[in-house]
Amino acid sequence: MRIHNFNAGPAVLPEEVLKEVQQNIVDYKGNGLSVMEMSHRSVEYGEIIEGARAAMKRIMGLGDDYAALFLQGGASTQFLMVPLNFCPNDKVANYIDTGAWATKAWKEAKKIGKKYHIAASSEDKDFTYIPKTWELSDDPAYLHITTNNTIRGSEWKIDPDVPAGVTLIADMSSNFLSRPLNFKKYDLIYGGAQKNIGPAGATFVLIKKNMLDRINPGLPTMMDYKTHADKDSMFNTPPAFSIYVIGEVLKWIEKKGGLEALAVNNKEKADYLYNIFDNSDFYRGTVVPEDRSYMNVPFRLPTEELEKKFIAEAKTKDMIGLKGHRSVGGCRASIYNSLPMKAVQCLAQFMLDFERKNK
């Protein structure tokens, strides 16, 4: 029996994808070996990675002017690669700080001596909202945002406008492909796959090809986006198995009806939980309503003791991953694309029962 998995990442995967992977894990489609054993230079693996790359761009509505890369090192390595590649010494890296991972991103630019500017921040209210206005520095190299804040539970509901000529870069790790966006507005999109589109080990990067002509010279080979774009993510051995599973998840997304269908389902799941907050004095959401994430739902109970009891009792009912991030405490339900509606309904019922028994 499968349990209800509310982990923030590595996170739940579609059951039908897991079954497909299971069937092919020893003998991939009659080739007599596993994907984990297959040469990444083989024709068979070339079809796998190219299929994943094409599906990702197709789902996003992107054309040949974008390169789709599969790298390693997680979004945390991208925090470094972005300023290394795209912030010349005479320019300023601009960031909107919405907490935790957004903060880590600008701190990486600072560590390597790049000029940086916080164009807006929600730190004044403990990162409980998304800034609605921002002020760019003079000579901005780019504006960087984090579209969904996994820890704090806030999410951008718009694609931000930037002046003509200003590069827009986004960490989309935890809401990637959860709903339609104007992806063409972004010059570079990146994130870890392990939250919404695959297992841990692979990092996705979508980059406008004309950006590759603007990369700072003299970079270490593996830190240069052009290295990976020129070799179609094959400069060195890619995270082959993770990319294979990503490709299967992308097929699942298309079969489900694409981003429009996922958006309807994700909003319905989120509303199940947020409606409880809005009609309870026992549970408290931590984000202003208009900026609530459809992917990560943090909440508090009246006391920390009750929160510990809630998490422990939920586990006995086959619901795991409900402990909040260690940096903020409380509880959190991550309800990514692959989490079935049934899981959210079970959690919602448990929340109501727990409130009745402990109020």
CA distance 352 to 350: 5
Kindly state whether residues 201 and 228 are assigned to the same domain: yes
What residues does 332 pair with on adjacent strands? 298
Q: What is the pTM assigned to this prediction?
A: 0.97
- H helices present in 61-147, as ranges: 74-86, 101-111
At residue 233, the pLDDT reads: 97
> Quick check: is 101 catalytic?
yes
Kindly state whether residues 217 and 262 are assigned to the same domain: no
Q: pLDDT of 34-48, one tens digit each?
A: 999 999 999 999 999
The pairing of beta strand 203-208 with beta strand 284-285: unpaired
* Mean of all residue pLDDT scores within the chain: 97
What DSSP letter does each residue of 295-308 carry, written as one string? SEEEEE-SSHHHHH
Q: What is the domain count for the chain?
A: 2
The pairing of beta strand 168-171 with beta strand 188-192: parallel
Q: pLDDT of 341-357, one tens digit each?
A: 999 999 999 999 999 99
Kindly state whether residues 139 and 227 are assigned to the same domain: yes
CA neighbor of 201 nearest in space, from 156, 237, 157: 237
At residue 1, the pLDDT reads: 80
As a whole number, mean pLDDT of residues 142-149 equals 98
As a whole number, mean pLDDT of residues 162-180 equals 96
> Which domain does 295 fall in, by range?
258-358
Residue 218 lies in a domain: yes
What DSSP letter does each residue of 263-288 carry, written as one string? HHHHHHHHHHHHHHHHT-SS-EESS-
Kindly state whether residues 78 and 210 are assigned to the same domain: yes
Catalytic residue among 97, 115, 156, 171: 171
Residue 1 lies in a domain: no
Kindly state whether residues 130 and 272 are assigned to the same domain: no
Res 332 pLDDT > 90: yes
pLDDT classification of 330: cutoffs 50, 70, 90: very high
Kindly state whether residues 263 and 242 are assigned to the same domain: no
Kindly state whether residues 249 and 264 are assigned to the same domain: no
Cα 209 to chain centroid, rounded: 22
Exposure string over 204-223, b if 16+ CB within 10 A, otherwise e: bbbbbeebbeebbeeeeeeb
Q: Which two tokens stand for residue 287?
A: 């984000």
Catalytic residue among 97, 101, 252, 269: 101
CATH of the domain at 301: 3.90.1150.10
Kindly state whether residues 347 and 225 are assigned to the same domain: no
Residue 5 lies in a domain: no
Res 105 pLDDT > 90: yes
Catalytic residue among 195, 224, 269, 291: 195
> Quick check: is 171 catalytic?
yes
> Quick check: is 195 catalytic?
yes
At residue 359, the pLDDT reads: 84
